[in-house]
Structure 1
Amino acid sequence: MQKLRDFVSVICDFLQHKAPFIEELEEQMQKLHEERAAAILERRAADNDDEMMEVEAAVNAAMSVLSRGGGSASMIEAATTAAQAAFAATREQRNLPVKLDEFGRDMNLQKRMDVERRAEARRHRKARSDSKRLSYMENDSSHQRIEGESSTDESDSESASYQSNRDMLLQTAEQIFSDAAEEYAQLSVVKERFERWKKHYSSSYNDAYMSLSIPAIFSPYVRLELLKWDPLHEDADFDNMKWHMLLYNYGIEDASKINPDDADANLIPQLVEKVAVPILHHEIAYCWDILSTRETMNAISATTLVFNYVPASSKAIGELVTVLRDRLDDAVTNLTVPTWSTLVMKAVPNAARIAAYRFGMSVRLMRNVCLWNKILALPVLEKLALDELLSGKVLPHLRSIQSNVHDAVTRTERIIASLSGVWAGPSVRGECSPKLRPLVEYLLILGKTLEKKHVLGVTETETSRLARRLKKMLVELNEYDQARAISRTFNLKEAL
């Protein structure tokens, strides 16, 4: 028994000595993840600022002309001229002149180079995005993604730099226990030592309240292994991790006869709550790119994973859900979707493309919000997705382009696709949510617009094709009566 007491004393001192080194590695890994995320977000913000600064000036100039009334060709031409002049003036202002300091160095050179570098990077990412979108359309022509709906923000150089730094940290982590004997350095050996104590001297083990100390003793080994866990960029299960495999049946001789009073049976959930949940909390709070569907799906997978171990009543879980809601709320609040009219977009170069891109971002965000439907309560999702995003940001944009029925139908399809599985699609039963009424009413307005075109003799093939798409969207929203009305109006023979 004295040997056991000595072992506990030594290993506690040993782990206490190593604690600052492990904490330093954790902080460095957190910083590395934050820098990776910040690089993407900062570049996205800079790109938005670069483009919006030029376009907004041109839009304001065009709107000033168009506000005098009329949408004649001459008025649009005048608006275009004003927009081009404003665009050129803004670009000239941003073309920083040479400004020399006392040593003859150009103080604005770096800024000009940064602007040009961002412009070149945007062209490169746009080409990649177009390629991805075309590939997607070839594979699934029924759901054509629009610009801005897919993310291509992370550059190859950033990925390589991150990976190199991460590898260095993990190599350092492998050396943390290298100066210790195997009985202290290897989790498997430490675990066996305590298991033998519990098995052969259970009374002594219980009298020493080892079940209370065991999580703290095993925690440093788990923390070192979880340095590899990158929950936003991989879909990993604890089952496949060494610490989980070693400790899953800790102190249990017969898995079919677990003593409900054995506190060690709760070891894995305790470690997940104390070690894994804080890691995930930090990732969601400071590193999660909400516009990345891949990161969002991985975050959902990781959140579901920890939910399988830790009860919802846990303070750590409550804080995790709170930060998740705060991040989503901020993302919706900070999103801007232009509501420029079709006349303005016709007059202003690049305005239509930027408006489409911003709308695509809103689709991406709505889809990512809806992906949390198994974790967040429905009222929370309704507030975020339907009240704030759909009604507050998306529908005003759709109304601004409704005269262009083809674009309006295409973009509305993408919105309904993003709602699929929560408020739209074959898996949804019952009446349409009252908060979707504005969207349904918008579809009916598009139907009326199409009907007028149909009466005026616009190509029947084109109007019928758009009408079928409208009907399909109404069916997706469980608005069967309205879908039948569309079928009758346009003489569509297909079944709903």
Structure 2
Amino acid sequence: MEVDSTDEQQQQEEAKSHVGQAQSQVSRSNITTSSFNTLSSLGSLKPGEIPDAAFIHAARKRRQQAREQGGEPPLVETENPKKLKNITQRQKIAEEIGIEGSDDEALDTGQDEESSRWEQEQIRKGISIPQVQSSQPEDNAVYYQNSYETQPYGSSYSMPFTYSTVVQQPKPTGRADNGSVHYGTPISDLTPISIDLVKKRLQDRLSQMRVGHDANARRNKQIEEDLAASESAIEQLEGSSNNNSNQYKFLQEMRGYVGDLLECFSEKVPAVLELEAAMHQLLRQRASRLVQRRQDDIKDESSEFASLSNKAVMAPNLDSFGRDRAVYQENSRQRRIAEREARRTRRRQAREQNGKRAEHKEGLSSDDEETSTDITSVNMERDRIIRECKKAFEDVVEDFHSLDCIKSHFEVWRREYADCYRDAYIGLCLPKLFNPLVRLQLMTWNPLEGQCANFEYMLWFESLLFYGFEENSVLQRGDGDISLLPSIVEKVILSKLTVRHARVVGFIRRLMKSYPTVLHGENRYTQELLKIIVFRIRRTLDEDVFLPLYPKNVLENKNGGPYLFYQRQFWSCVKLLGNILQWEGILSGSCLRDLALDSTLNRYILSALQTTDTGEDNVPKCQKVVECLPVQWFSGLKGQKTLPQLEPFCRYLTHLASSFHRGSLGGSDLERRSAKDLIKEVVKMLGQMNALDHIITVAAEHGIKDIKPLLEAKS
């Protein structure tokens, strides 16, 4: 059947309505063969494809031929009974949904009214279905069943792309007689669709969508958190950038300030050290002058009574040129004797005014009195050094010589940029930086003077005491600024100490109590100080100690010069023993026992006691010696023996007790009672030194019965 060109446009317009009608007409009971072939041809369309005019014309032509021939439509493949079964199934479905008749004329009724609505619906489906398919892929068979169940049976044939796009197309199962290829699963093999199944699948689909929604919500929340973190990081980096800029600017300023400060100190510090050396030299000359005068006085008195002595024990006393200092001109000796006696008279008068003359022993006082000439010379040099100290930084602005100003710069650094402050080890540098300024304030400080000011009340100490301290702050372990003051004390204070008398011992003990790290054994300054102390003691023992040895008949005259000279030198040596033993706890035990017992007690004191008459005057001398001995030496001893270095002294005490006992034999009761009391005093001294073996010997020989408390206390 030919179609002329004038009818082609009209045919294209009618094709859109006929395609929809064909899908609804297939479900009728009388389906023609041409309609079935048209359905097979429509199934070859691609998803979303709209049939063209030629395709619609061919479909109309086949339908018209089938209408003219009448009867049952011929099958495409008569030898395939399965396809006949499909047609029968379609007829059954059509009957179930209430579609009657197979007359084409009846099917065309009402098509004009629905053609427009159908066309719009098909266009909408052709646009929306591929989008749903691409965004929400599902199982192909499931989608086919859902779409098939929710649409009228006949309308499915008006959408040839639905079945071919949604249902997976298997390979061609065969070719029909007219050359068309059939795809898809037969309808008879599909699972029956029910409302519950549809509901279940919708619910499953809803659950999947909720799961996807939850995942998207979590993802959105994570993105928001990442965004907030990124914004916070940006703000932090921007703030850090500003902080780094400020820190860089501050460090550049500190670099310039410290450079200028060091340049200033490089010029001024040598002058400060020179002034300090001048002050030390002044004090050293003063001390040397006093020591030399004391040695000269001893030599003068020794030479005066040398003819009365059979022998003398005197340490070598030579000057730097190897000459004997005993050789002096007579006029110089007479002048020294006059000055010496004048000083002794003034000291004696001072003791009488204080009421201490009766308990005083000649030789225990210190002869430190200076002449007016020496005092004037020392004061003039001292004043000159003080004036030079005031001029040291007079041409320097306050920022470079004031402790408070210098300290404030580093306190700002510590407070604002603590990490950088610690990384630069400023805490280790500050003691050396403040050292010259502290030395300048301690220029006239002398711990050996009786009226010496306490350095802890000086301005420099108060200024540095609270360095870096802030209210409500806690000091951290390992903070280098904690050791600021101890470092200054050990580098400045210890270097100024020189040993002359026991006052230095008290000062050092106070340092040990207040600054435990200062006198630590591994401290370099402490080791140097202890070496100087030991050296000075040995030098005193070798050069300053002298005990004359006179015959007993010479010492019988207690008002004579030799006896007074002997007593003075003996008590001076006992005083030295006490001063040496005050270093207990500072010097090592072995070193101290060697200096005090071997070099002083056994070498000088015990020798003097053994060469004199064993009278009752020797008891207070021995008691004074025992009082000087540290109690802690004997608290840890085990057994009945004392220290090995004290054995000679204990034997002398045993000999002294025997002498008292022999002297009382044949005497009056008063003499025997007095001798027994002296023996008891000897026993007490032996008990204080833990010489229990000697106590047993004395008690057995002289009938002393009250020694049991001593033995029980020791056991």
What's the counterpart of residue 65 of structure 2? none
Tell me whether 1:119 sits opposite 2:337 in the alignment.
yes
1:271 to 485, 488, 492: 488
What's the counterpart of residue 262 of structure 2? 12
In structure 1, what residue type is equivalent to 2:465?
Answer: Y
What's the counterpart of residue 46 of structure 1? 296
Moved more, 349-358 or 464-473: 464-473
Moved more, 335-344 or 376-385: 335-344
Provide TM-score, normalisation by structure 2.
0.55
Contact map agreement 1:373 1:381 (CA 8 A) in 2: yes
Q: Going by fraction, where is helix more abundant, 1 or 2?
A: 1
What's the counterpart of residue 178 of structure 1? 394
Measure how far apart 1:325 and its partner are: 1.4
What's the counterpart of residue 538 of structure 2? 329
Contact map agreement 1:128 1:152 (CA 8 A) in 2: no
Measure how far apart 1:480 and its partner are: 6.0
The 2-side partners of 1:55 and 1:483 are apart by 40
Tell me whether 1:26 sits opposite 2:26 in the alignment.
no
In structure 1, what residue type is equivalent to 2:414?
Answer: K
Give percent identity, aligned residues only.
27
Measure how far apart 1:319 and its partner are: 1.8
Contact map agreement 2:310 2:550 (CA 8 A) in 1: no
Q: How does 1:50-449 map to 2 (within 5 A)?
A: 50-60=300-310, 112=331, 114-130=332-348, 144-155=359-370, 157=372, 158=374, 162-163=378-379, 165-206=381-422, 208-233=424-449, 238-253=455-470, 257-280=474-497, 283=498, 288-289=499-500, 292-298=501-507, 301=510, 308-309=517-518, 311-334=520-543, 335-346=545-556, 350-401=561-612, 403-421=613-631, 423=633, 432-449=642-659
The 1-side partners of 2:311 and 2:255 are apart by 81
Contact map agreement 2:512 2:518 (CA 8 A) in 1: no
Measure how far apart 1:429 and its partner are: 7.5
Contact map agreement 1:272 1:309 (CA 8 A) in 2: yes
Contact map agreement 1:188 1:246 (CA 8 A) in 2: yes
The 2-side partners of 1:396 and 1:95 are apart by 29
The 2-side partners of 1:303 and 1:339 are apart by 41
Measure how far apart 1:279 and its partner are: 2.3
Measure how far apart 1:39 and its partner are: 1.4
Distance verdict in 2 for CA 1:478–1:150, change over 3 Å: farther
SS, match of residue 616 in structure 2: helix
Residues 86-126 of structure 1: per-residue CA shift (max 9 Å, x gap): xxxxxxx9996xxxxxxxxxxxxxx61x3233112221233
Contact map agreement 1:148 1:359 (CA 8 A) in 2: yes
In structure 2, what residue type is equivalent to 1:376?
Answer: L
In structure 1, what residue type is equivalent to 2:537?
Answer: L
In structure 2, what residue type is equivalent to 1:125?
Answer: R
Residues 152-191 of structure 1: per-residue CA shift (max 9 Å, x gap): 3333635565455434433432332233222223111210
The 2-side partners of 1:463 and 1:130 are apart by 34
* Structure of higher RCO (CA pairs closer than 8 Å, 6+ residues apart): 1
Distance verdict in 2 for CA 1:310–1:50, change over 3 Å: closer
Residues 230-251 of structure 1: per-residue CA shift (max 9 Å, x gap): 1223576543232222223322
Contact map agreement 1:150 1:364 (CA 8 A) in 2: no
Distance verdict in 2 for CA 1:314–1:420, change over 3 Å: closer
The 2-side partners of 1:32 and 1:177 are apart by 23
Distance verdict in 2 for CA 1:361–1:491, change over 3 Å: same
In structure 1, what residue type is equivalent to 2:686?
Answer: L
Distance verdict in 2 for CA 1:361–1:132, change over 3 Å: farther
Moved more, 150-159 or 216-225: 150-159
Distance verdict in 2 for CA 1:95–1:346, change over 3 Å: farther
Contact map agreement 2:411 2:468 (CA 8 A) in 1: yes
| Length, aligned pairs only | 437
The 2-side partners of 1:170 and 1:492 are apart by 68
Measure how far apart 1:487 and its partner are: 11
In structure 2, what residue type is equivalent to 1:315?
Answer: R
Contact map agreement 1:277 1:306 (CA 8 A) in 2: no
In structure 2, what residue type is equivalent to 1:37?
Answer: A
The 1-side partners of 2:531 and 2:699 are apart by 43
Distance verdict in 2 for CA 1:491–1:50, change over 3 Å: same
Residues 459-489 of structure 1: per-residue CA shift (max 9 Å, x gap): 5264355345434433433446756856994
Measure how far apart 1:407 and its partner are: 2.5
Contact map agreement 2:447 2:507 (CA 8 A) in 1: yes
The 1-side partners of 2:350 and 2:665 are apart by 39
Measure how far apart 1:272 and its partner are: 2.5
Distance verdict in 2 for CA 1:414–1:145, change over 3 Å: farther
Moved more, 428-437 or 14-23: 428-437
Residues 364-389 of structure 1: per-residue CA shift (max 9 Å, x gap): 11001100001011111111111221
Residues 374-416 of structure 1: per-residue CA shift (max 9 Å, x gap): 1011111111111221112211111111x34122223222222
The 2-side partners of 1:5 and 1:389 are apart by 58
In structure 1, what residue type is equivalent to 2:678?
Answer: L
The 2-side partners of 1:11 and 1:134 are apart by 58
The 1-side partners of 2:617 and 2:510 are apart by 35
Tell me whether 1:35 sits opposite 2:285 in the alignment.
yes
The 1-side partners of 2:354 and 2:691 are apart by 29
Distance verdict in 2 for CA 1:186–1:311, change over 3 Å: same
The 1-side partners of 2:478 and 2:694 are apart by 60
The 2-side partners of 1:317 and 1:225 are apart by 22
Provide TM-score, normalisation by structure 1.
0.76
The 2-side partners of 1:373 and 1:95 are apart by 40
SS, match of residue 369 in structure 2: coil
In structure 1, what residue type is equivalent to 2:461?
Answer: H
In structure 2, what residue type is equivalent to 1:463?
Answer: A
Distance verdict in 2 for CA 1:405–1:244, change over 3 Å: same
Residues 328-382 of structure 1: per-residue CA shift (max 9 Å, x gap): 2222233232333313434895222222222112101100110000101111111
Task: Pick the structure with greater CA Rg.
Answer: 2
In structure 2, what residue type is equivalent to 1:320?
Answer: L
Distance verdict in 2 for CA 1:249–1:350, change over 3 Å: same
In structure 2, what residue type is equivalent to 1:371?
Answer: Q
In structure 2, what residue type is equivalent to 1:20?
Answer: P
Contact map agreement 2:598 2:645 (CA 8 A) in 1: yes
In structure 2, what residue type is equivalent to 1:187?
Answer: L
Distance verdict in 2 for CA 1:477–1:205, change over 3 Å: closer
The 1-side partners of 2:643 and 2:352 are apart by 34
Contact map agreement 2:298 2:546 (CA 8 A) in 1: no
Contact map agreement 1:18 1:176 (CA 8 A) in 2: yes
Measure how far apart 1:229 and its partner are: 2.7
What's the counterpart of residue 37 of structure 2? none
In structure 2, what residue type is equivalent to 1:323?
Answer: I
